Amino acid sequence: MSKLVAVGKSGELADGAMKHAPTEKGEVLVARVGEKHYVADNRCPHMGGRLSQGKLEGTVVTCPLHGSQFDLKDGKVVRWLKGSGLMSKLGKALKPPKTVTVYRTQVKDDQIMIEL
């Protein structure tokens, strides 16, 4: 059974901004793109980089550690690790691509709510 949890106020993020927020299940990334809010796990599934410290371009967030990219609309991998060559191939073989968990969001009374 899911429950709604507040992760921030809808007016506190500018368009294209991100922040992190704690929840009982771990830290999440909260992002605003246009008038929509997106929430995902804040840790990259590759090496645990904090996605909220990365770069946001549209709905795609880039991990600050190794450049993996995820679409916040569905959590799918856009790019798994940055670069090419032997080291990149080895890294991809040792840690195959994994999606990032995204959460359903809604704004209720100026609060960004997610289902946990």
- Tens digits of residue pLDDT in 18-57: 999 999 999 999 999 999 999 999 999 988 999 999 999 9
List, in sequence order, every residue forming a beta bridge with 18; answer none if it has no partner.
31
- Find all residues with CB under 8 Å of 40, minimum gap 6, and list them: 28, 29, 31, 51, 61, 70, 72, 75, 100, 101, 102, 103
Contact 70, 40 (CB under 8 A): yes
pTM equals 0.89
Q: What is the pLDDT of residue 81?
A: 82
Q: Which of 36, 35, 82 has the alpha carbon at shortest distance from 63?
A: 82
Neighbours of 14 (CB within 10 A): 7
Domains and CATH numbers, the chain: 4-108 (2.102.10.10)
